[in-house]
Amino acid sequence: MPTTAPLVIIGGGQAGLATAHTARSLGLAPIVLEAAEQTAGSWPHYYDSLTLFSPARRSALPGTAFPGDPDGYPARDEVVAYLTDYAARLDADIRTGHRVTEVVAAPDGSRGGFEVVTAGGEVFAAPLVIAATGGFSRPHRPDLPGLDGFPGTVLHSCDYRRPGPFRGRRVVIVGGGNSAVQIAIELAGVADVTLATRHPLRFMAQRLLGVDMHIWLRRTGLDTAGWARPLLTGGKGTPVMDTGTYRDAIAAGNPDRRPMFTRLEGDQVVWSDGTREHVDVVLLATGYRPGVDHLTGLGALDEDGQPRHRGGVSLTRPGLGYVGLEWQRSFASATLRGVAADARHVLTRLRKEMRTAGRAWTPSR
Ligand code: FAD
């Protein structure tokens, strides 16, 4: 017999935890299924020197302040500790070591909704499912000309931890986002580094008139306005948050920045001006895609395997939602400070769907 719940949340990172907290405040007792043995999402796997780009006061999940200096920028391990503690305090049934392999429509004759199947063979039945498996769970590795035959080291930014192993090496970093620039700056201290980007880098001031940009974005409402996306991204990806030090370092040529190379030939990179040189390492800071393969059988994904949704509510499956996708509703959607607002939005929409369909919001367990 399946274990029943009013809501199953898949993923116990910040998105899943914020959703669980919000669900409790709306009267639901969710089950959270998390593949890993801890409840800190992908944070333990990010690089050692990572510090948050938003200050502690703007990086808390609902109900629990981020400890320490409210205007400080917490380090990776502080985020891990915060999320671990947050999960422990949460009044929710969180089951770690439960990887979801498949979500299917519940059989006819049941109360409808979904059956969520885990790798261990357990089945959970629920009228509502929210996928909070992270907008960053599947590293995107573009098919660059010559990359397959490159004899040097190729790695994705998700595999990068610290600069030591790159000392003295010639490194080309592909990408112009926050991770690309942060890693390039760090590596430039020990290696010969070039950032290869399709567009010139775009920076956003970390602070304006002494106030963090995330606080401005929130005050002006720009970070929750879908229409602001072209304004904030220029259609060319999320801008790089910078206090001025990144821009200065790149202007000084360490790291160096060049237009994207045309191809790799053996161990050489061929630049757009035709010059070529030996490189040791190609580091792809080319972003991520959501990992939602377990929803394939539901017909909830498009031809690229991405969720069909509006604002996190499935366009094809009543009762199915998402929290934590990049630009799900706003600039802040896939960040610590934005995820709770999205969780509330999605759950309220799902509640409306249920009421319209004449179904109870809080089925007994
Ligand atoms: P994740 O942290 O990826 O958590 C998803 C969880 O779902 C994981 O625990 C995973 O084990 C689980 N899961 C996945 N598949 C399954 C399955 N099938 N069954 C069960 N469980 C599953 N945001 C900020 O606010 N500030 C920052 O400074 C910041 N810096 C970032 C730096 C980098 C390099 C990256 C990549 C992202 C950064 N972000 C930052 C963005 C975002 O906050 C993080 O990516 C964060 O980890 C996203 O949380 P999440 O809960 O949505 O996803």
The reply to whether 241 and 295 lie within a common domain is no
Instruction: Please give the pLDDT value at position 173.
Output: 98
Q: Are residue 131 and residue 150 in the same domain, yes or no? A: no
Q: Which atom of ligand 1 is nearest to the CA of 14?
A: 51
364 falls within a domain: no
Q: What is the pLDDT of residues 186-245, one digit of tens each?
A: 999 999 999 999 988 887 766 666 766 676 677 777 666 666 666 666 555 667 877 888
CATH of the domain at 217: 3.50.50.60
- Give the count of domains, the chain: 2
Of 284, 308, 330, the residue that ends a domain is: 284
What values do phi and psi take at 158, rounded to 5? -65, -20
**230 prior amide bond cis, ω within 30:** no
169 plus 109 within the same structural domain = no
Are 254 and 157 in the same domain? yes
Long-range contacts of 138-143 (CB under 8 A, 24+ apart): 138/288, 138/289, 138/290, 138/291, 139/284, 139/288, 140/284, 140/286, 140/287, 140/288, 140/289, 141/284, 141/286, 142/174, 142/284, 142/286
Q: Which long-range contacts (CB under 8 A, 24 or more apart) does 184-191 make?
A: 184/250, 184/255, 185/245, 185/246, 185/249, 185/255, 186/49, 187/163, 187/255, 188/249, 188/254, 188/255, 189/163, 190/163, 190/164, 190/166, 191/163, 191/166, 191/167, 191/281
Find the 334 Cα to ligand 1 centroid distance in Å.
8
- Ligand 1: list residues with CB < 6 Å: 10-16, 33-36, 41-43, 46, 50, 52-54, 59, 99-100, 132-137, 179, 291, 294, 324, 334-336
Strand arrangement of the beta sheet that strand 281-284 belongs to: 153-156, 281-284, 170-174, 192-197, 256-259
Checking if the pLDDT of 363 tops 60, the result is no
- The span from the CA of 136 to the CA of 148, in Å, is 24
Task: Tell me 350's DSSP state.
Answer: H
In a domain, 262, yes or no: yes
Confirm whether 362 is domain-assigned: no
Q: Is the pLDDT of residue 179 over 60?
A: yes
Domain containing 336: what range? 3-137+288-356
**What value does the mean pLDDT take over residues 84-111?**
90
Of all residues in the chain, what percent carry a pLDDT higher than 90?
A: 69
* Residue that is last in its domain, among 266, 284, 302: 284
Residue 202 domain-assigned (yes or no): yes
Residues 322 and 250 both lie in one domain: no
Q: By alpha-carbon position, which residue is closest to atom 18 of ligand 1? A: 100
Asked if 109 contacts 300 with a C-beta cutoff of 8 angstroms, the reply is: no
Interval 77-101 mean pLDDT: 97
Ligand 1: centre distance to CA 158 (Å): 12
Q: What is the pTM of this model?
A: 0.88
Position 291 confidence tier, pLDDT thresholds 50, 70, 90: confident
User: 277 and 292: one domain?
Assistant: no
Average pLDDT of the residues in 263-286: 97
Euclidean distance between CA atoms 263 and 289, whole angstroms: 24
The label of the residue with tokens 């040097």 reads 152
* Domain annotation covers residue 361: no
Instruction: Answer yes or no: do 104 and 24 share one domain.
Output: yes
Beta bridge partners of 9: 32, 130
Do 206 and 273 lie in one domain? The reply is yes
Nearest atom in ligand 1 to 42's CA? 2
Specify the higher pLDDT residue, 247 or 172: 172
Which pLDDT does position 242 carry in this prediction? Answer: 79
Q: How far is it, in rounded angstroms, from Cα 221 to Cα 61? A: 19
Task: Indicate if 109 and 195 belong to the same structural domain.
Answer: no
Domain assignment of residue 230, yes or no: yes
Q: Which atom of ligand 1 approaches the CA of 47 most closely?
A: 34
Res. 275: pLDDT tops 90? yes
- Provide Rg for the chain, Cα atoms: 22
| Among candidate residues 241, 261, 284, the one where a domain is terminated | 284
Please list, in sequence order, all residues whose beta carbon lies within 8 angstroms of the beta carbon of residue 230, skipping any fewer than 6 positions away: none
Strand partners, 282: 154, 172
Average pLDDT of the segment spanning 291-309: 93
Per-residue pLDDT band for 138 (boundaries 50, 70, 90) equals confident
> Is the same domain home to 219 and 106?
no
- 43/130 same-domain check: yes
For residue 318, being part of any structural domain is answered with yes
Domain match, 344 and 255 both: no
Give the nearest ligand 1 atom to 323 CA.
Answer: 52
In this predicted structure, the answer to whether residue 115 has a pLDDT above a threshold of 50 is yes
pLDDT band at 364 (very low <50, low <70, confident <90, very high): very low
E strands, 55-152, are 93-95, 100-105, 114-118, 123-126, 128-131, 138-139
Asked, for residue 365, whether it belongs to a domain, the answer is no
CA dihedral 152, 156, 162, 167 (to 10 degrees): 20
pLDDT at 359: 81
- Which pLDDT score, from 0 to 100, does residue 61 have? 96
